[in-house]
Structure 1
């Protein structure tokens, strides 16, 4: 099998225990040819991914952000945005209204903009994890602006205590399952994206420009939103800390993310 590109999830997969790319992993990626595409795929916004690209010295490589909702390739001389799929303003308003009266934080994301309703523990936690600062603006004012000027959310993030999040999740599932993808990375989080996209759909768009087939890609992941990606490539690899459902579809498993599992797999198959 010829591997011509790598696609990797970030949180829980590429990052170490300090939520950084370890020196070992950086060194292994530096051993790959500079024209070998390294594609980072995440539920994060682009600005929360580009600093990791700099760590890997892959600034001009493509990015799959918002789980495939916003795909960019800065290496292209033409328009760098390959795909943009949003949750409509009307649907965003219904989500926000559904959480009204509940002690739930809702953040709204569009391209490189992150709108948080207030500075609270959830905003502070996300700023620390992603190294991006939020714009503080009431949810309804953001949606009003999108409704007036056009636009929508590439991602809606709901955060709160486990009981409240479970209640909201059940309500969202009952009302919007056909149009929205509801992903729970933790019992205190719901990440919401359009149902039509995934990391796999984003990767397919990128590879068309490079003349690379999905069968020629090595991909890494750890969580439910990585399953379609690992299933669709030639060599899907789960890190050791991956959920059992992810390991079940992977062609191989490597060490935990905190033990440089991605680097170990690259050394095994490519170096």
Structure 2
């Protein structure tokens, strides 16, 4: 099979546990790009938390941010943007902003806002992404994503309650302690579909790598959806292939096999 595009989640997939791209994985990606096969990140991260890795890979392809809600070209021009309905924001703010068990972040284009800049969750996220959150203004609009961070047990309890109250929204965990809220049309699969149509590539000719529940739709959409070895069992069951973990160069191993790359 001659695959023509590769898409990859970042945290838990492209990045190892130290939030780095290993030299082995970097080399494999650069090798396929030399074959004119684009490697495009599809991440829950905001744009500025993706760009340093693109620079490391010498990759000037598009980036898919906020789990599919925003696609930017190399000049950070928006090619595709799906935001939460502004009419829903006041309802969400009333429920979320004054909940002491949650750290709440709002993302709009290149900006990250938070209701509590001193939260340990915000500080941790800042260390992971290298970004600094801004104080949330009184009135916000054009929000691509709301991120809730909190104790895993509490996130597990609040997820079904929010889904019941807001059935028109996409609400899912990107990891045990992170719950993401977005427009239902903002999915990784829809973003890949947009990119594939733009490049005139059939979805059967696309590979995607992922490790978690917010990756499942894209893993099932593309021709070859590959789950990382560190994925939950449910994701592994539903993916077409399973590779090694993100700490064992799972992406590199698969790319070398699929594209017959030399080590």
* TM-score (normalised: structure 1): 0.89
Other-structure match for 1:74: 74
Q: Is the 8 A contact 1:102 1:164 kept in 2?
A: no
Number of positions where the alignment pairs a residue of Structure 1 with one of Structure 2: 257
Moved more, 90-99 or 211-220: 90-99
Hey, what's the Cα distance between the residues in 2 that align with 1:250 and 1:163?
26
Residue aligning to 1:181: 170
Q: Gapped runs of 5+ residues in structure 2?
A: none
Question: Measured at CA, do residues 99 and 137 of structure 1 come closer, stay the same or move farther in structure 2, by a change above 3 Å?
Answer: closer
Q: Residue 42 of structure 1 aligns with which residue? A: 43
Q: Quick check: 1:156–1:191 contact (8 Å CA) kept in 2?
A: yes
Whole-Å Cα distance in 2 between the matches of residues 247 and 161 of structure 1? Answer: 25
Kept in 2, the 8 Å contact 1:96–1:106? The answer is: no
Q: 1:93 aligns with which of 90, 106, 114?
A: 90
1:174-222 Cα deviation digits (max 9, x unpaired):
2102x11111233432111111221111011112222211111111011
Deviation at 1:162, TM superposition (A): 3.8
| CA-based RMSD | 1.8
Unaligned 5+ runs, structure 1:
none
In the alignment, the residues of structure 1 paired with residue 97 and residue 9 of structure 2 have an alpha-carbon distance, to the nearest angstrom, of 32
- Whether the 8 Å contact between 1:99 and 1:168 is mirrored in structure 2 is no
Matched, 1:257 2:246: yes
Query: In the superposition, relative to structure 1, how do residues 219 and 89 fare at CA in structure 2: closer, same or farther (>3 Å)?
Result: same
Q: Could you say if the C-alpha distance between residues 74 and 252 of structure 1 is closer, same or farther in structure 2, counting changes exceeding 3 Å?
A: same
TM-score normalised by L of structure 2: 0.91
What SS class does the counterpart of residue 179 from structure 2 fall into?
strand
What is the match of residue 111 of structure 2?
113
Write out the 4+ residue segments of structure 1 that deviate beyond 6 Å after TM superposition. Answer: none
Check whether the contact 2:173–2:214 (CA below 8 A) recurs between aligned residues. no
Cα distance per residue 1:55-89 (max 9 Å; x no partner)? 1110x2011111111112337xxx94221111123
Displacement of 1:163 in angstroms is: 4.8
Distance in 2 between the 1:257 and 1:44 partners? 17
**Structure 1 counterpart of 2:24:** 24
Q: Work out whether residues 82 and 205 of structure 1, in 8 Å CA contact, stay in contact via their aligned partners in 2.
A: no
Contact 2:175/2:212 (<8 A) preserved: no
TM-superposition CA deviations, 1:149-177 (whole Å, max 9, x none): xx321000112234543453233122102
Alpha-carbon offset, residue 23 of structure 1: 1.0
Question: How much does 1:100 deviate?
Answer: 4.6
Tell me the distance in 2 between the aligned counterparts of 1:209 and 1:31.
23
Distance, in Å, in 1 between the alignment partners of 2:78 and 2:110 is 12
**SS state of the match for residue 171, structure 2?**
strand
Question: Partners of 1:100 and 1:211 in 2: how far apart?
Answer: 43
> 105-114 vs 205-214, which deviates more?
205-214
1:159 is matched with which residue? 149
| 1:14 aligns to 2:14 (yes or no) | yes
Is the contact made by 1:82 and 1:206 (CA closer than 8 Å) also made in structure 2? no
